[in-house]
Amino acid sequence: MSAESADLNAIVRGARAEFRERQIVDAAVRLMQEKGTHSVSMQAIAKSGGVSVGLLYKYFSDKEQIVLAAITRVLEEFRLRVPSAIAEAADPVDKVIAAFSEFCRIVGEQRHAVVLTYQASRSLSKDGLSSIQEQELETLQPLIDVVAGAVETGHLRDVDAQALGHDLMSIAHMWALKHWYFQKIGLDLDTYIDRQVRTLILSNLGPETTPS
């Protein structure tokens, strides 16, 4: 076998493994949402994911690893996409709006995994919880930084960047946690983002910003 063929086979195997892992995690998230983390067995996850129990254990040694994988996947989306959204905006306030909006969109796409984060966090081991908390703070930092930058330039009034950054993240998560209510009143994600931007960001405009 040539080196090129070996490299191609490795890429294909990697893609298959990534697909299979995502398939398992998606199935587990759905089950845990329906029945609760403690009520779902590894056997049930394997059945729902369309894999054997033996294959499941090749990817994950226990349910905590699956939960951590689901949470980490959401955090990785934040890590990759929020800085990119910020980079595309020029104005300091627009950067804050872009970061918050991207947080909301990711939560919308990963709604079930976000809810699972809150449901399962209490049952995580100390090391697992610590890892997730560290990753969450890391992914939040770009949002805090752009808030701080907008305050420093006078585009936002003198607010606590840490506090406002955490508030914005919590409001983004609220789309998942209270989705049943927003669905009931017919509120879509774009409208939700617009209303929260007006309430939490545009209400804090500083002297260097002229409201449109």
Looking at per-residue confidence, does 54 or 6 come out higher?
54
Q: Which of 6-10, 54-58, 128-132, 157-161 has the lowest mean pLDDT?
A: 6-10
**The pLDDT of residue 13 is above 70:** no
Q: What's the pTM value of the predicted model, to 2 decimals?
A: 0.84
Which structural domain, as residue segments, surrounds residue 138? 62-212
Residues 192 and 180 in one domain: yes
Do the beta carbons of residue 100 and residue 172 sit within 8 Å? Answer: yes
Tell me how far apart the alpha carbons of residues 205 and 40 are, in angstroms, rounded to a whole number. Answer: 48
N-to-C CA span, the chain? 64
- What pLDDT does residue 56 have? 92
- CA torsion sign, 134 to 139 to 142 to 148? negative
Looking at per-residue confidence, does 164 or 26 come out higher?
164
Residues 45 and 66 in one domain: no
CA dist list (Å): 118 to 32, 122, 133, 205: 12, 8, 12, 32
Residues 104 and 51 in one domain: no
- The CA angle 77-81-86, to the nearest 5 degrees, is 150
- Domain of 142: which CATH number? 1.10.357.10
Tell me: the pLDDT tens digits for 177-192? 999 999 999 999 999 9
